[in-house]
Structure 1
Amino acid sequence: MNISKIKNQVEGLLYPSACIVCGEETKGELVCTYCTDKVLLIKEPKCMKCGKHIDDEYKEYCPDCLTASHLYRKGIGAFEYNEYLKETLYDLKYHGTKYVGRLMGKEIAKKYRHDILEWEADCIVPVPLHHKKERKRGYNQATIIAEAIGNELHIPVRDDILLRSVNTVPQKELSKEERIKNLENAFIIRENVVKLEKIIIVDDIYTTGATIDRCAKVLLESGCKEVYYIAVCIGVGV
C-alpha cells in the first residue's frame, strides 16, 4: 500500500464525510447541499482589525474596534455565529464531536490560506482550558481546531506556551465589562518558553475579544512582537 493511499484512509477517519450541521453524509464537504445557507463565511466589507462584517463599505473598522484598544494586531473570524453553528460548537465542546473541529480548521486553512500565511507566524497557540475542565472534557476544542489549521498550512502548534491558571466562569454568561474582569490574571506563560516573534491565537468563538486580548497581553509581555487571532465564529454586530 502506498503512502498516498494510507494518507487518504487516515484522512477519511479524521474527517468523516458528514455535514457538521445535520450529520447527513457529504462528499468530503463541510456541509451538505441542504445546509449550505446555514454556515456562512463572513462577507465583505470587513473590519480591518477584528475581521467582523461591517455594513458601510466606506468604513474601515467596526464600532467596537473604533473604541476598544485591542492588543492583537489583526484577526480572522471565519464564519457568522448563528443558531446552527451555536449548536454545532456546543456539540464540539460537550458531546465529543471532535471531527467537527478538524473539519472547520481544515476549511479555515483552505479559505483563508493567503491571509494566514501572510502573517508569517512562528506558531499557533490554542486558547487553553483550565486543567480541571480539560481533564473532565478529555480535550480542548481550540487545540483540535489549531492542529487542523497547522497541519494544512505547516505552521507549528504549541499548546505548551499558555496556561489557564484560573477556572473562570463561562464568558457567555457575562456582560462585556464582566468578561474583561472575569479574565484578569486568568492566563500565564509557562516557564522556560522560547520567545517567539509572531503568534496566532486560535479559539472557537470571538465575541468581544476579551479572551484574545488577555492571551495577547501575556504573550506580548513575555517578548512576543505581534499577536494575531483566528476564531471559527465571530458575532455579527457585537
Structure 2
Amino acid sequence: MVRNRSVTQVFAKLSNLIYPRRCPICDEITGGAEKLICDSCRTVLQPVREPVCMKCGKPLSKEEAEYCPDCLRRKHRYEKGRAVFLYDRVMRASISRFKYHNRREYADFYAEELLRAHGRMLRSWQPDALIPVPLHKSRMRKRGFNQAALVAERMGERLGIPVEEKLLIRVKKTSPQKELNDSARRENLKNAFQLCGNDVKLKRVVLIDDIYTTGSTLDAAAAALLTAGVEKVYFLSICIGRGF
C-alpha cells in the first residue's frame, strides 16, 4: 500500500511537469501536483453555510425555516442531499471550464471539497455505491468524458466505495435544463433514465452531480433507481442555487 502510494505520488509529479495543474478558480498554474487551488482563490469561494434546507441543502435566508420553497412545494424522489458551493459567478465559470474546456484535473479539487464538507454525512448514509448522473451518449461523444463520473471516481477511491458508472444510463437526449422553467424541466426529463439490467442488488446509493438547481434531474434519476428496487437515494453536488 505504501509503495503504491509512493508510485502514485511520483507519477503525479511527473505528470505535473508535462501538464501543470491549474487552479479551478483562476485557471493559472498552482505550482505543484498536490496544490489543488491557489491560496488567494480559496478566499473568493462561497461555501454553503447554515441554515440550509433539510431536504436539498439550499442555503436559507431565514434562520427559523426548515425547507426551501421548492421542497415545500413539491415532493422529491431522493431522501436528502447536500452541496459544497453556491452556484455563483465564480463557480459558474469554474464548472464551465471543467465541462467544456477539458479541465479534468479540477475533479480532484471538487472531490476533496465534497469530502471535506460532507464526508461524515456521506458515510452515515452507508451507501452501497456512488452513481454519477450519466450523460446521453451523443453528449458523451462530443465532450469525451462525464464530469460527474470523474468526481465520483475520486471520492470512491478515497472512501473505498464502489462507483457504478454504467448502471444508470441516459436514454433520452434532453434539452439544456437552463433554458427551461420548472415544469418544462420535469417534462424534459420524463423517462430520461433507465437501468442497464434488471438485477439491481443495491439498497442505498448516492448520486453525484455538478449543479443542483430545481432537483429535476436528480428526481428523474432517483425515480429510475427506486423503480428498479433501490430503497434509498441520496445526492451530493458540487454547486447549488439559493433557497431564499
Fold conserved between structures, TM > 0.5: yes
SS in 2 for 1:34: helix
Alignment partners' CA distance in 1, 2:240 and 2:172: 24
Q: 2:54 aligns with which of 17, 28, 48?
A: 48
Contact preservation (8 Å) 1:147, 1:157? yes
* Paired AA for residue 184 in structure 2: E
Q: Percent identity?
A: 39
SS in 2 for 1:52: coil
Deviations 1:157-200 (A, max 9, x none): 00111110011111111111111110011111111443210010
Residue 236 (structure 1) shift: 1.3
Deviations 1:102-156 (A, max 9, x none): 3211221132110110000000111110111101211111101111111111111
Residue 203 (structure 1) shift: 0.7
Residue 72 (structure 1) shift: 0.4
Residue 139 of structure 1 aligns with which residue? Answer: 145
Contact preservation (8 Å) 1:76, 1:230? yes
1:131-210 pair list within 5 angstroms: 131-210=137-216
SS in 2 for 1:134: helix
Contact preservation (8 Å) 1:161, 1:193? no
Total equivalences in the alignment: 238
Q: Provide the alpha-carbon RMSD of the alignment.
A: 2.0
Residue 30 (structure 1) shift: 4.0
Contact preservation (8 Å) 1:30, 1:107? no
Residue 117 of structure 2 aligns with which residue? Answer: 111
Contact preservation (8 Å) 1:189, 1:218? yes
Contact preservation (8 Å) 1:40, 1:79? yes
* Paired AA for residue 6 in structure 1: V
Alignment partners' CA distance in 2, 1:146 and 1:229: 11
1:195-234 pair list within 5 angstroms: 195-234=201-240
* TM-score w.r.t. length of structure 2: 0.91
Query: 5+ unaligned residues in a row in structure 2: which ranges?
Result: none
* TM-score w.r.t. length of structure 1: 0.93
Q: Per the alignment, do residues 64 and 107 of structure 1 end up closer, same or farther by CA in structure 2, a change over 3 Å counting?
A: same
Q: 1:77 aligns with which of 61, 74, 83?
A: 83
Contact preservation (8 Å) 1:200, 1:229? yes
* Paired AA for residue 63 in structure 1: P
* Paired AA for residue 20 in structure 1: P
* Paired AA for residue 95 in structure 2: L
